[in-house]
Structure 1
Amino acid sequence: MIHEFKTCLQNNNLLELSSIPKSDLHNHAGCGGNVNYIASQTNIKIDQPPAVFESMFHMHSWFTDNIKVHCTYLKRLEAAFVQAYDDNIHVLAMSLETDEANKIGGMDLGLFIQTMNTFKQRLAPSTIFLPELTFNRACCDVDNTYSRLDEILSFHWFKSLDICNDEFAQPIKNFKKIYRKAKDSGLRLKAHVGEFGTANDVMEAVEELELDEVHHGIAAVTSPLIMKWLADNRVQLNICPSSNVMLGVVKGYDVHPIRKLYDYGIPVTINTDDLLIFNQTVSQEYLNLYEAKLMTVEELDDIREIGLKEINNYV
Structure 2
Amino acid sequence: MERVMTFTEALKSGSLDNIRTFPKADLHNHFVLGGSREYIFGKTGYEIKPITKPLDSMRKMDAWSGKYIGDHFNSPEGRRLLIEATFAQAKADGVTVLEIGEDVWGLGMFFHNDIGELIAVFQEANETIAPEIELRLQIGLSRHCPVDYLEDCLKHFWGHREFYSIDLYGDELAQPIESFIPFYEKAAENGLVLKAHVGEWGTARDIVIAVKALHLDEVQHGIAAVWDESVIDFLRENKIRLNITPSSNVLLGRVTDMEHHPIAQLYRNGVDVTVNSDDVLIFDSDVSKEYLRLYQSGCLTSEDLDDIRVKGLKHQ
Shorter chain as denominator, the TM-score bin is over 0.9
Matching of residue 178 in structure 1 with residue 183 in structure 2: yes
Checking the alignment, whether the CA contact within 8 Å between 2:34 and 2:278 is kept in structure 1 is yes
| Correspondence for 2:86 | 80
Aligned residue type for 1:153: W
Matched, 1:152 2:157: yes
CA contact (8 A) 2:107 2:114 kept: no
2:9 to 7, 19, 24: 7
TM-score (norm 2): 0.93
The reply on whether 1:274 has 2:275 as its aligned counterpart is no
Cα distance between partner residues in 1 of 2:307 and 2:4: 9
**TM-score w.r.t. structure 1 length?**
0.94
Bigger Cα displacement from structure 2, 249-258 vs 28-37 = 28-37
Please tell me whether the aligned partners of residues 50 and 281 of structure 2 are also in contact (alpha carbons under 8 angstroms).
no
| 1:206 aligned onto 2:211 | yes
Q: How does 1:1-315 map to 2 (within 5 A)?
A: 3-71=5-73, 72-108=78-114, 110-139=116-145, 141-310=146-315, 313=316
| CA distance in 1 between partners of 2:237 and 2:252 (Å) | 30
Report how far residue 155 of structure 1 moved. Answer: 2.5
* Cα deviation digits, residues 258-284 of structure 1 (max 9, x gap): 011001100000001111111111000
Counterpart contact for 1:42–1:70, Cα < 8 Å: no
* Secondary structure at 1:54 match in 2: coil
C-alpha contact 1:189 1:210 (8 A) present in aligned 2: yes
C-alpha distance 10-109 of structure 1, shift in aligned 2 (>3 A):
closer
The separation in 1 between residues aligned to 2:308 and 2:144, in whole angstroms, is 31
- 5+ residue gaps, structure 1, are none
1:95: how far off? 3.3
Check 1:2–1:23 CA distance in 2 against 1; reply closer, same or farther (3 A cut).
Answer: farther
Question: In structure 1, what residue type is equivalent to 2:40?
Answer: I
Structure 1 CA distance, aligned partners of 2:18 and 2:64? 31
How far does the alpha carbon of each residue in 1:32-80 deviate from its partner, in whole angstroms, 9 at most, with x for none? Answer: 1022332333223433414112211211211221234544222111100
How far does residue 145 in structure 1 lie from its aligned partner after superposition? Answer: 2.5
CA-based RMSD of the aligned residues comes to 1.7
Distance in 2 between residues matched to 1:303 and 1:270, nearest whole Å: 7
Query: How big is the shift at 1:181?
Result: 0.6
Q: Which moved more, 1:204-213 or 1:157-166?
A: 157-166
Per-residue CA deviation, residues 167-214 of structure 1 (Å, 9 max, x unaligned), is 110000110011001101111100000001100000100001000000
Q: Is the 8 A contact 1:238 1:269 kept in 2?
A: yes
Q: Distance in 2 between matches of 1:144 and 1:102?
A: 12
Answer whether contact 1:107 1:152 (CA < 8 A) is retained. no
TM-fit CA distance, 1:87: 1.1
What's the CA shift string for 1:88-145, capped at 9, x where partnerless?
A: 2111111320222333323435211111110010011011100110110012x22343
Q: Percent identity over the alignment?
A: 40
Partners of 2:40 and 2:56 lie apart in 1 by: 25
Query: Cα 1:106–1:44, aligned 2, differ >3 Å: closer, same or farther?
Result: closer
Counterpart contact for 1:188–1:212, Cα < 8 Å: yes
Counterpart-to-counterpart distance in 2, 1:283 and 1:108: 35
The unaligned stretches of length 5 or more in structure 2 are none
TM-superposed deviation, 1:287: 0.2
**C-alpha contact (below 8 Å) 1:104/1:111 kept by paired residues:** no
